[in-house]
Structure formats: structure tokens, C-alpha cells
Amino acid sequence: MNAETSTELRESARESNRRAWRILDGRGGLRAVFTAAVSRTGVDSLRHAAAGMVTARTKGADHERALRARDRVRAFADRLEQMLEQRVQPSDLGWVSDLRSAAHGVLPARGPGEKGTGGVRAAEVVSRLLGELPAGKGLTGLAVVVESAELPEPVEMNDHDSPLLPNSVALVGPGSLFANQGRFAVYTRLDAGMRASELPLLDRDVQGPLLPLVLYNLLSAPGHRKGGHGSADLALRIYIEGLCSVMQRDWQRSERHPVLVSTTLREFLTWFYPVRRPRPNEYWPRLMAACAALDREESRLPWRDAETGRSGLRRVVSLADIPRGPDALDDSVGLAVHLPPGSTYGPKIHRARLRHWGYTSEPAYRALVALSYQWHLPGQTRIPGKDGWVQSQNPADYEEYSPSRIIELCYPTSVHVNRRMLLARSLKVLRRLEASGDLHMVGNRIMPPVPDAEIIV
């Protein structure tokens, strides 16, 4: 191993340790770290780390030190396994650091007296000792547990009225292996008479803005969606809200590891019920269904790292913590966001308008999300202005929409055979959006609202 590689590994380990402490110190960090540590995954991660602490290259005194360090990590993993079997909870009182275990390292232990008295909470003792436990390769036990559980790092919530959406969640790059797997709405194929639910064979690379098809109807069985009236699917709205909640300065961090944005349940509910507060028995079943939908394999997004060549599927948005109970309105809701690599700025959306249409009209919400990306084409619909890039208001810069593409804006997954009826409904939706000032139409071209003509990004 050369000096440059060794320096990079040390810096990587230091950053992992710092990130683990930021997570621990964040809102709900103690409970999250304890839950990750006192689990089968947490125990196994420490044992795996211990197995790599002694190698054939360690000799003499270094070998002895490595053996003792390995034994301490193993002993800690054994104690966590005991706590798991005893079903110790993070808030259980009566825990202290056991100094009598110095031969194997300091371990969590119950203090004298009855359970639940004296000492401190189990989560505090376990988390602090993990932060002090060397676990090999420059990592602490805390970093090992946090990495294995992929705990999200808390970041500041983006509460801007017009946040930016990252482009990586809606673009499939040239030559993507995922473009033809039915997960993406390839709008260019609809002009050839194909429905979005079919698997198109593309004769060119996909360049246009695409979203995972399953996101539009996550809460419905395939083929059963008549879709068109009432609020948009809650899973899709949570997905979009999660993307809007991460500030652009944190996008790169979110590419490497999930980040966590938090708000109160009271505020969270206003995103989806802007004119009234729903009863728990009304929103809870929908919220649980949305969580299950966002966790489905079909809602994961393909990613590819241009630098390393690695690729895969990623859960981009999920709910990490959901309070429940009579006094839960002021407790925190956590949104975990894990962006694909290469996230750069995408379209700017008007959050209040999008929430309004999400609550009142499913097809209008779908159309605005899709149009936001289709209006954001730097060099074509985004042009250089006096002080930066501005939105073009020249109709010639925008594509004409065929009847099939208009249908797909509002009903991207519809299997209804009456295309004339779907077109009439779609045009009615677009006219409503135009009357509300959210777009304007010039012939067959759909353009952003005129007041946005001089928005600088």
C-alpha cells in the first residue's frame, strides 16, 4: 500500500467517525444508534470488524496489541447480543460502564439495585462506549455500527418556497440497462401507439425526463387504476416532498450516505392536508400503505457512479421515524433521502402550488411534476440571460405535444382503452392549470407560466 492510498484510507476513516458522531448527536440519534447496535446486524458488523483486526502481516508487539483489541471488540459484540436476547430497551435505566471488565474492554452493565433505578439509560452507555471502542482500520465501533445500519445523517430542512429538484431522480442516462424494464414512463414511445404499461424497445438512448412508473400508482394493484379524481397518491407526494426537503448543499453528502430531514408531525400533515387536519384513523392507514409502497423494489431508482463504474438500485426516499399517539403532533417525523450519484440542479418548483394540486387533483399534480422536468432543458428551454439562466418564453423552444403525450402527462399508467375520453379529460386538466396560472398553452405547446420568465437559477 503506497503512502497516498494510506492517507486516503485514514481520512476516510476519520470522516466515517465524524459522521457517526454527527448522527449520534442529532435528533433521535441515541435511540437510532442503540437500536442499530443491539440488533443482529449490529452484532454481526462488530464481529466482522474484529475478524479483520489481526492479519498475517502483524508481528511481535503489534500482533499482541491487535489480539487484545480484537478480543475487546468480540467481548462488546457478545454483550450486545446478551442485551438483544434480554430485549433491553434504549430508555431502560440502571446501566453503567463495567470497569471490572477491563481485561476485555469496558462493557455496558447493569448497576447495583433493581432494574430501572440508578445509573443512566442503556442507550447512553452503549453509544458512548461504542464511540470509544477501536474497531480496526481507524474506525470506532460507533462508526462500524452506523455504517452497517446505513443510518441517515441529520441535515437542515429546506423550507424554501421554491426549492430545486435534483435531476438525477428523473433522468436515465444514455445506454441505461434499466430503461426497458417497465419502471419508467418513456413518453416518446406513446406516439407510436404504445401504452406506458408495456415494455418499449427503444431505438435510441433515453434523454428525456423520466420517473419510475410505479411511483404514480404505488397504492393500487396493476390494471385497477381508473385514476383521475381526488388527491394524488400519498407515496408519490412523500417522494417529491422528500426530494424538496434536502438543500442543494447537502446533495453530494446524500449521494454517499442517506441524510435525514426532520419536521413535526403537525407540519408534516399540512403538506398533504393543507386545508384541514385529518384524524389519526384517516391518515394512519394511508401513511402505512405509502411507507410499504416506497419500500417496494419497483420504487427503487437505478444509479451509476461515473467514477467507479458501480451501479445498482437505490431507495431514494423513505420515512425513517413516524410518531403515533395522542400527543404525537409535536413529535418528529424523519424523512431519509439517498440521492443517486451525479445530482445536479433540476427544475425549480412552486411548493405551495404543487401541494395544492396534490390535495385537489391527482392528474394535475402528475402533470406539473412531469412538466417541471420537461421545461428544464438547459440550452433549449433554459437560456442565458443578463444575470444568469432564465426560462425561455419563445414557443419555438418548446416541443409540440401529441395527443398521446398529453394523455401521458395526466394519466401515465392508465390502461383505459378509450383514448378519446382520456384525451378530453387531460385537456380539461391542462385548461384548469392554465386558468390557475400554473402553465399556458400556445397551440400544441405547453409552456411555463409567464411570471416565471425572468426567474434566475
Give residue-wise pLDDT tens across range 90-120: 988 888 887 666 556 788 888 765 454 556 8
Which of the residue ranges 75-84, 166-175, 398-407 has the most confident prediction, judged by mean pLDDT? 75-84
pLDDT value for 218: 52
- Give the mean pLDDT of 274-278: 88
| Residues 411-434 pLDDT 10s | 876 767 788 999 999 999 999 999
Query: Strands 317-321, 332-337: parallel, antiparallel or unpaired by DSSP?
Result: antiparallel
- Give the span between the Cα atoms of 378 and 391, in whole angstroms: 9
Q: Does 45 score more than 90 pLDDT?
A: yes
Mean pLDDT of the region 188-196? 33
Q: Computed from CA positions of residues 427, 429, 431, 437, in that sequence, does the dihedral angle turn out positive or negative?
A: negative
265-285 average pLDDT score: 91
Answer whether residue 83 shows pLDDT above 80: yes
Per-residue pLDDT at 216: 57
What is the structure's pLDDT at 328? 86
Question: What confidence tens digit (pLDDT) does each residue in 322-366 have?
Answer: 888 778 888 889 999 998 887 777 788 899 999 999 999 989 998
What pLDDT, on the 0 to 100 scale, is given for residue 212? 54
Q: Which of 290, 336, 344 is nearest to 169 (CA)?
A: 344
Query: Among 279, 264, 392, which residue's Cα sits nearest to residue 334?
Result: 264
Q: What is the mean pLDDT of residues 239-257?
A: 90
Give the helix ranges, DSSP H, for 86-132.
Answer: 122-132
Residues 6+ apart with CB under 8 A from 36: 42, 145, 146, 148, 149, 151
pLDDT of residue 91: 87
pLDDT at position 85, please?
94
Taking 80 as the threshold, does the pLDDT of residue 266 lie above it?
yes
Q: Are strands 153-154 and 259-264 parallel, antiparallel or unpaired?
A: parallel
| 3-class secondary structure, 109 | strand
Task: Check pLDDT > 80 for residue 35.
Answer: yes
Per cent of the chain over pLDDT 90 is: 33
C-alpha cell at 137: 482500520
Question: Mean of the per-residue pLDDT values for the chain?
Answer: 79
- Whether the pLDDT of residue 125 is over 80: the answer is yes
Instruction: State the pLDDT confidence band at 214, using cuts at 50, 70 and 90.
Output: low
Is the pLDDT score of 222 beyond 60?
Answer: no
- Please write the tens of the pLDDT for every residue from 399-414: 898 888 888 788 876 7
Q: What is the pLDDT of residue 217?
A: 56
pTM, 2 dp: 0.78
pLDDT of residue 265: 93
Express as a percent the part of the chain with pLDDT over 70: 79
Q: What is the pLDDT of residue 5?
A: 65
* Better pLDDT: 116 or 295: 295
Domain ranges of the chain: 3-151, 164-454
User: Quick check: 23 pLDDT over 70?
Assistant: yes
Residue 311 pLDDT = 78
Q: Helices 419-435 & 403-410, crossing angle to 10 degrees?
A: 70
Query: How many beta carbons lie within 10 A of that of residue 276, not counting itself?
Result: 9
Residues 6+ apart with CB under 8 A from 31: 90, 123
pLDDT at position 321 over 50: yes
According to the model, what pLDDT value does residue 172 have?
A: 44
Helix (H) or strand (E) holding 314: strand 311-314
Tell me what pLDDT residue 139 has: 93
CB neighbour list of residue 180: distance below 8 Å, 6 or more residues apart: 199, 200, 201, 202
Which value, to the nearest 10 degrees, does the dihedral of the CA atoms of residues 187, 192, 198, 203 take? -80
Q: What span, in angstroms and rounded, lies between the C-alpha atoms of 402 and 191?
A: 7
Other C-beta atoms closer than 10 Å to the C-beta of 162 total 14
> Any idea what DSSP says for residue 111?
-
